[in-house]
Amino acid sequence: MDRELLALCILVSAEAGHSFSAFLPSYFTVQKFADSPGDIEKIRSGYIPALMFNFALGLGASWITKSYLPLLAVLLASAGMVVLYERAIARC
């Protein structure tokens, strides 16, 4: 793998993590204030636009580089974010 592709994979996976903050409250906020089933449903509804954005980001980067690695990096980062949010919800 060349350096530019590796750097792009790092950047798109970091952006995938950051995009969750655009569509969902912070991890701390979820842990602290989500206490009803309605709150949890609203939080989980933010997964859809975050995952759609991330999938488009990964597809675009993969198309530009002609490599599947940016998409894989984005999908792994997104899965990690969903796991973190689910852990926060479980602590409510």
- Is 28:89 a contact under the CB 8 Å cutoff? no
CB hemisphere CA count around 54 (13 angstroms): 32
> How is the chain split into domains, by residue range?
3-90
Whether residue 23 contacts residue 50, with contact meaning beta carbons closer than 8 Å, is answered with yes
Residue 39 has pLDDT above 90, yes or no: no
Q: pLDDT digit string (tens) for 55-83? A: 999 999 999 999 999 999 999 999 999 99
Residue 88 token pair: 């926060």
Closest CA to 85 of 28, 39, 13: 28
